[in-house]
Structure 1
Amino acid sequence: MKFNREEENNFSITRYESMLRSNDVKFFDSDEFESIIHHYLENGKIAKAKKAISLGLSQHPSSVNLKLLQVEVLVFEDRLEKADNLLAQLHALEPENEEIYIQKANILSKQNNHIKAIELLMMALSYTNDVADVYSLIGMEYLFMDDFENAKINFMRCLEADEQDYSALYNIIYCFDFLEQHQEAIEYLNMFLNKNPYCEVAWHQVGKQYYDLKEYEKALAAFDFAIISDEYFIGAYLEKGKVLEKLKRYNEAIENYRITLELDDPTSFALLRIGKCHEKLGNDDLAIQHFSKTVHEDPLLDKGWIAITDFYLRQRNYQKALYYTNKAINIDGENVLYWKRYAKINNRLAFFEEAERGYRKALELGNYELETWLNRSDILRFLGESDAAIQNLYQALEFYPENAEIQYRLAGIYYEMQDFEKGEYHIRKALEQDYEYHIVLEELFEKVFNLTLVRNIISEYQ
């Protein structure tokens, strides 16, 4: 009875680990050690891989392949000088071994010497039987240099050598996308599909290109072909659902999202989209039910919490909106989107101190939108903290130096504080920047607006 390769590898690993437990040293040929080491490296068990390399070299001290695996581990551990020295010794023994050039290129890549790494990989092409793998590595080096055209060319060469290398196909499309060459990507994919008409990955990518171009009917057809090629392709159903939403065919979108739930464990994305579709259809109970399932499935998905909060905001049910926003903040207190809503809801509920805290927190987390600065200053003024409001507005000016709304607010607050000199300075600045916006003074600072000296200044700019 013959074992297949995988069974042989499993047998070698089982026998090897049994040896380690018993401390009874057994002989393994170098090929067995290679498969054992590869198994550990692929599973991220570096310490076990190092032990296997050590034992392997003790039994096969002249094995170049085992020494190359030792180099791979040294590179992984950033012990680049030692790896380089070992490669120099191996190159003297086997100058036509492509793996030596590949590992040397890996070292150079880690040292950000990508041009030299590519030169060595080009040399490796002369000796390798697996040109697809080497072209893929060359493509990655070009990606590191943001040279997307050359990266694309080499990933294409990789795919020509191995049409089943879908990672190369994804990388090609990544390059097209970065270069915003959607039409060229479609032409390339169609050429690939002429030779591989049932490649679900290629159809899926065609659909995504048409989606980006807003050609939704063509995108829909492409995703249908992806599903015909592989009826279990979850990604195609999800993308088809997104297209159907764009076409306002919400019931069909729900049906496609539901298929993904049947094919695999529920995903928060599918549950969220089903909820959004039900909301568009006016099925409020089903919408909130699916939004709740979304956050239960993935409590860290901010889009789920935002969907629930915004649902209740649209219904003007501010108490429930605040309840869910607080829950979201308790899970992730560093999410600026939660704090923006926290501030907005508290403002609507006239909980001004809490609203100010929300806007302040949003600013601390890097949300420098004009609306955030303005709302916070208005609340601080309402709370009687004029100095803090002024400081907030001056900070806003650093980001929006030409904004008249900020200047009108500064003018209004200074006039309220009886600082007429600074008030006049800022109102003149504001009027120079945008005369029409003096309505801000009328709406927010009615008493200031009605001052004769203020009206006289405004009249100068009519």
Structure 2
Amino acid sequence: MALESNERPDQPITKFESMLKTDDIYFFDAEDFEDIVHHYLNNGKISLAKKGIKIGLQQHPDAIELKLLNIEVMVFENNLAKAEILLDELQLLDANNEEIYIQRANILSKQDNHEGAVILLHKALELSQNSFDIYSLLGMEYLFMDDFKLAKESFMKCLDFDEQDYSSLYNVIYCFEFLEDYEGAIHYLNDYLERNPYCEVAWHQLGKLYYIEKMYPEALTAFDFAIISDDSFIGAYFEKGKVLEKLGKYHEAIENYEITINIEDPTSHAFLRIGRCYEKLNNDKMAKYYYRQTVREDPLLDKGWLAITNFYSKHKLYEEALENINRALNIDGENPLYWKKCGKIHHALQQYDQADFAFKQAVDLGNYELDTWLEWSEVVNKVGDTLSGVEILKQGKEFYPENLEIRYKMVAFLLMLEDFINARIALLDVLKIDKDLKELYLLENQFPKFAHSEWVKSVITDSKKES
């Protein structure tokens, strides 16, 4: 049985869903179908949106807007060839419809032709009465092209249309930050806040920018205004806590982190921050408690495991530190930072074979930090494999070719091996960089017998003659 829409007083979406559950067929205006489809698209319910389009086109086969929504779904689902065929048909009927150019631009964007998409979007702008959405799309295309200046300008135009468009506001600030124009971003946000003094999002973003610029009092003020604007804004309390940490006000920082826990479910990041504050306050009992809470809340948060491991290592409780880092490795054995920390602990426990294995794992998994190479080479040297120590330092030198600590250590290892030819070559190479011998202490501190040997003095003299 077919019913007219005015026989049902419910809203179109409610009526539509009721129709899907029964054998009744309700007639809707084309505009109602558009609202129904937009509702489902906005809520990510694609299958229901497609049903709305199908039934809508059955009742209104000539409705161009429904056809365009059909094309939009096709583009979303990467059915691009069919979408282009339908666009060609529509363009013959309505050549000045900006939505046709928008959908063609979306297709080009999907094909990574962002320059072509921009051209079509500008064409759509010429035809559009309401360009807000088009500027948003333009901004995204410019982001894809890494043109952050034009992207910023496009998102600013979105805010000219709607100052409550926080997505565009975030994008504007993102562009400023990428361009490293923090001063410009601060100026822009202050102007924005002159017009929107109770915008918690803008105050929050302004506070983060002041934090980056190390303007901590100004950052605190900004976060306070964000909280005044919305006293349940977790992000503002959390960022305010970070500023208070920087200022050494650890008790106040803890209070702000605890507020975030009380407003919503606790987060591992809040527990971690509270633990660090207690550690700074030398309250080891509470620090340990919150570090434990961190890894319980999120066992995959590497910063949590590293914090509790560092806590025990700092107190030279290496067995406890090893127990915790091994737990972390059982959860994520592919984490190079865990393996590096494991190597350091084994080194401290004089378990050199295990330390060697751990450092090798760290490097194999992509940890190429300077201290990794230096400590790994020390470990293998301590087990008498000085030659491997030289090879490790050679690898490290590839990543840090100008680092003198690696170079001086390599000289010392070669002298241990009594490889005087390569030791001389290596030392002369170092002296080309360290001409004034300002860094010679790196050799003196660790290997005084070599640093003060006649052999080294002779090479230094020869180097000065050659220069």
TM-score between both structures, scaled by the size of structure 2: 0.87
What do you get for the CA RMSD once the two structures are aligned?
3.0
Question: Any idea what SS the aligned residue of 1:227 has?
Answer: helix
Counterpart secondary structure, 1:78:
coil
- Cα offsets for 1:412-443 (capped at 9, x unmatched): 44444454433443344344444565666666
Q: AA paired with 1:214?
A: K
Report the Cα distance in structure 2 between the residues aligned to 1:35 and 1:458, rounded to whole angstroms. Answer: 83
Residue-by-residue CA offset, 1:258-314 (whole Å, 9 max, x unaligned): 111111111222111111111112221111111111111111111111111111122
Q: Is residue 11 of structure 2 the alignment partner of residue 8 of structure 1?
A: yes
How far apart are the structure 1 equivalents of 2:455 and 2:219? 63
Q: Structure 1 297/88 Cα, relative in aligned 2: closer, same or farther at 3 Å? A: same
Counterpart amino acid of 1:174? Y
Query: Contact 1:27 / 1:59 at 8 angstroms: preserved in 2?
Result: no
Q: Is the 8 A contact 2:250 2:280 kept in 1?
A: yes
Quote the residue 1:373 is aligned against.
373
Q: Distance in 1 between matches of 2:188 and 2:403?
A: 47
Aligned mates of 1:92, 1:432 — CA distance in 2: 74
2:191 aligned partner, one-letter code: M
Question: Against the structure 1 CA distance between its residues 92 and 206, is the aligned structure 2 distance closer, same or farther, given a 3 Å change threshold?
Answer: same
- State the 1:177 CA deviation: 1.4
Does structure 1 conserve the Cα–Cα contact (< 8 Å) formed by 2:156 and 2:168?
yes
Superposition map of 1:29-428 within 5 A: 29=28, 30-31=30-31, 33-47=33-47, 49-50=49-50, 52-428=52-428
String of CA shifts for 1:157-205, please: whole Å, max 9, x gaps: 1111112111111111111112222222222222222222211111112
How many angstroms does 1:95 deviate by?
2.8
**Aligned residue type for 2:337:** L
Asked whether the 8 Å contact 1:12–1:32 carries over to 2, the reply is no
Q: Distance in 1 between matches of 2:141 and 2:462?
A: 64
Name the aligned partner's letter for residue 191 of structure 1: D
- Farther-moved stretch of structure 1 (399-408 vs 75-84): 399-408
**In the TM superposition, what whole-angstrom CA distance separates every residue of 1:105-164 from its partner, at most 9, and x where no partner exists?**
111222333333233323333444543222211222222222222222221111111121
Are the structure 2 counterparts of residues 228 and 406 from structure 1 closer, same or farther at C-alpha, using a change threshold of 3 Å?
Answer: closer
* 2:387/2:417 contact within 8 Å kept: no
**Partner Cα separation in structure 1 for residue 12 and residue 241 of structure 2:** 43
Q: Whole-Å Cα distance in 2 between the matches of residues 182 and 201 of structure 1? A: 17
Distance 2:254 2:16 in 1: 47
Write the distance in 1 (CA, Å) between the matches of 2:413 and 2:293: 47
> Structure 2: where are the runs of 5+ without partners?
none
Quote the offset at 1:47 in angstroms.
4.8
Aligned 8 A contact 1:257 1:273 in 2 = yes
Between 280-289 and 424-433, the greater mean CA deviation after superposition: 424-433
Question: Residues 400 and 122 from structure 1, CA distance in 2 versus in 1: closer, same or farther, beyond 3 angstroms?
Answer: closer
Distance in 2 separating the partners of 1:208 and 1:280: 23
Aligned AA for 1:119?
A: I
Describe the superposition over 1:211-242 as per-residue Cα deviations: whole angstroms up to 9, x where unpaired: 12211111111111111111111111111111
Q: Percent identity?
A: 52
Contact in 2 for aligned 1:405/1:430 (Cα 8 Å): no
The more displaced of 56-65 and 265-274 is 56-65
DSSP 3-state at the match of 2:421: helix
Q: How many Å separate the matches in 1 of 2:161 and 2:319? A: 61
**Deviation (angstroms), 1:336:** 1.9
Deviation at 1:48, TM superposition (A): 5.1
- The 10-residue stretch of structure 1 (186-195 or 403-412) with the greater mean CA deviation from structure 2: 403-412
Specify whether residues 432 and 165 from structure 1 end up closer, same or farther in structure 2 by C-alpha distance, changes over 3 A only. Answer: closer
SS at match of 2:108: helix
| Structure 1 length-normalised TM | 0.88
Distance change >3 Å, CA 9–CA 129, structure 1 → 2: farther
Q: Distance in 1 between matches of 2:396 and 2:17?
A: 66
- Between the aligned partners of 2:385 and 2:167, the Cα distance in structure 1 is 58
Q: Does 1:26 pair with 2:25? A: yes
Unaligned runs of 5+ in 1: none
Task: Quote how far apart the aligned CAs of 1:360 are.
Answer: 1.0
